[in-house]
Amino acid sequence: MSDSSSRFGDVSRRGFIRGLSAAALATPVVAREAQAHGLPALGNELFTHGVASGDPLQRRVMLWTRIAPRRLLPRLPVRWEVAHDPGFRRLAAHGIAFASAERDWTVKVDAGDLPPGTELFYRFSALGRHSPTGRTRTLPTGLVRDVRLAVFSCSNYPAGYFHAYREAARLDDLDAAVHLGDYIYEYPRGGYASDDAAALGREVEPAGELLLLQDYRARYAQYRSDPDLQALHARVPFICVWDDHEIANDTWREGAENHQAGEGSFAERRAAALRAYHEWMPTRLPDPHRPERLYRSFQFGRLVDLHMLDTRVIGRDLQLDYRNYLGATGLDAARFAADVSAPGRQLLGAEQAQWLDRALTHGQGQWTILGQQVLMGRMNVPAPLIFGQLGFSAYAALVAKAQTAPATLTPQELALLQQPAIPYNLDAWDGYAAAREALLGKARSLNKNLVVLAGDTHNAWASNLLDAQGNAVGVEFATPGVSSPGLEAVFPNENPVAFAAGLQQIIGPLVYAETQNRGFMLVTATPTECRAVWRFVDTVKSTTYRAYSGRSLRVLPGAGQRTLIEV
């Protein structure tokens, strides 16, 4: 999806010169008109939302910027340049694109004929002014020493500052930033996680819930005004997928929990949300005629195959709801088990599942990494905790009583302990058991070194991925939210350290949990290991904060070694 009318190497020399001449002729005219009407002339007042790059390939990369809206012309020519040096003395590619109201004055260019595995610099020019300079990188070919990814999810503007983006922007050795969704949130002013928004100066725009195209556009514009997010976009190429809040909470194929009667057509709302997403994000559409199709692959030489999945929009069946399985005698476990493991129950959808099957079959990377939204690891917890029959500390005390003094247990306490462990989140892969088994079975049959990246929960997790027979297939690294509150807000009366430790005890495949701080995740793949290091900030409620590292876990390649180990 490109607004470029010409791309260096893709068009004839005559066409390129014609486009360049149009820009050269238009620039002084528009500059004079801008001056006459008192419009912004400075670069930082023209390129108000910075620059970004994304979806890097071996010889291509998407470039993005936005022009402050023009009241004088239906569209504005914008020159783009890619160079080997920050002074733009050695150009690698250049051309002319156009900004217009039709695309909210955003500019997207699919710059091609670039050298692989190379750090490059880019900028835009219009009205005689330059944008800020961005830095990007094309993907490597052949043997690769390492691939280093910063992984993000759940950046909620009113919930707090984007310190995680600032910390990542300080790193010099990233190959890409991977954003797993909830890049924006759709809620109105005063909605979810907005208690401190006014005090922080971060109340959302527009004030209402996002429903129409202009609503989503305005919310992206506000998010992209954040200096920390702008800094990271200018520093490293992004590879992104959406989750639910880019549209509405708990989105599935035909609706969403946060789309109510009286809010119009969900299909129209979704179309508006996806259009704004592609306007404002440096994405390359696999099929320009199908903006809802976002799943795609990236090859980092022969080291990493990164497959970005859509577990949210294109194929997901409606989430199950425990309320539909509760009766006078409690949970109808047999009926629930049959429904949650139904063979036809889809999370990816048949088309995407077939695409992923082919991608896994033909992938040549030593590591197969899946970038996707929701937890794949099994997260079964005792049913009394899910249904709120007692708190975590009380349940832990009950378990301890059963171990030390079982004869003192009352019939009511015994009944609580005898309830099964069930999935805590039916919006995750736990609610789509057959789809998970199919994916894990394919990876195991192909002997893949599988690493799954996940977001969505606002918390840090690491799990071993086991199939239904208990075979180790791979590992999952899950990133905390950039700013959205985690389980510390859901269980405010629990000690978060003890709570996380208790989860690691009662959830078999879970190796690591951190449920009280925000941050991001660094994932580094080499020929000998794939390692995750969690980076946290101690607050998102103040402009001053402390950044620190959490656990570091790794997995080794090869059959028999695909489980998490301490670094």
Looking up tokens 């692959």, which residue turns up? Answer: 297
Q: CA 518 from chain center: how many Å?
A: 15
Please write the tens of the pLDDT for every residue from 74-128. 899 999 999 999 999 999 999 999 999 999 999 999 999 999 999 999 999 999 9
Is residue 69, in this structure, part of any structural domain at all?
Answer: yes
Q: Which long-range contacts (CB under 8 A, 24 or more apart) does 198-202 make?
A: 200/158, 200/160, 200/161, 200/541, 202/157, 202/158, 202/160, 202/161
Domain count, the chain: 2
pLDDT of residue 467: 97
Is residue 323, in this structure, part of any structural domain at all?
Answer: no
Look at strands 119-126 and 129-130 and give their pairing.
antiparallel
Give the Cα separation of 359 and 357 in Å (integer): 6
Is residue 513, in this structure, part of any structural domain at all?
Answer: no
Looking up tokens 């949650």, which residue turns up? Answer: 340
Give the Cα separation of 112 and 55 in Å (integer): 12
Look at strands 547-555 and 91-100 and give their pairing.
unpaired
Q: Are 59 and 112 in contact (CB under 8 A)?
A: yes
pLDDT of residue 8: 26
What CATH number did the domain enclosing 121 receive? 2.60.40.380
Look at strands 518-525 and 147-152 and give their pairing.
antiparallel
Is residue 25, in this structure, part of any structural domain at all?
Answer: yes
List, edge to edge, every strand of the sheet that includes 176-179. 106-111, 61-66, 51-54, 238-240, 176-179, 147-152, 518-525, 530-537, 547-555, 565-566
Q: Are 131 and 47 in contact (CB under 8 A)?
A: yes
Contacts of 268 (CB under 8 A, 6+ apart): none
Please write the tens of the pLDDT for every residue from 232-253. 999 999 999 999 999 999 999 9
DSSP, residue by residue, 460-475? EEEEEEE-TT--EEEE
Is residue 101, in this structure, part of any structural domain at all?
Answer: yes
Does this model's pTM top 0.85? yes
Give the Cα separation of 151 and 456 in Å (integer): 12
Q: Record the tokens describing residue 173, joined without a space.
A: 């050795």
Q: Record the tokens describing residue 149, joined without a space.
A: 């990814």
Three-state DSSP class for 336? helix
Residue where one domain finishes, among candidates 123, 138, 153: 138
Is residue 396, in this structure, part of any structural domain at all?
Answer: yes
Phi/psi class of residue 18: alpha, beta or left (left: φ > 0; alpha: ψ in -120 to 50)?
Answer: alpha
Is residue 434, in this structure, part of any structural domain at all?
Answer: no
Is residue 109, in this structure, part of any structural domain at all?
Answer: yes
Q: Are 324 and 163 in contact (CB under 8 A)?
A: no
Amino acid at 78: V
Contacts of 420 (CB under 8 A, 6+ apart): 331, 333, 382, 383
Q: Which residues of the chain have pLDDT under 50?
A: 1-42
Residue where one domain finishes, among candidates 138, 156, 183: 138
Closest CA to 356 of 316, 291, 311: 311
pLDDT of residue 371: 98
Q: Are 73 and 30 in contact (CB under 8 A)?
A: yes
Q: What is the dihedral of CA 187, 190, 193, 197, to 10 degrees?
A: 120
Give the Cα separation of 20 and 269 in Å (integer): 38
Q: Record the tokens describing residue 75, joined without a space.
A: 């569209």
Its domain, for residue 411, covers 380-423
Closest CA to 165 of 227, 241, 244: 227
Residue where one domain finishes, among candidates 78, 103, 138: 138
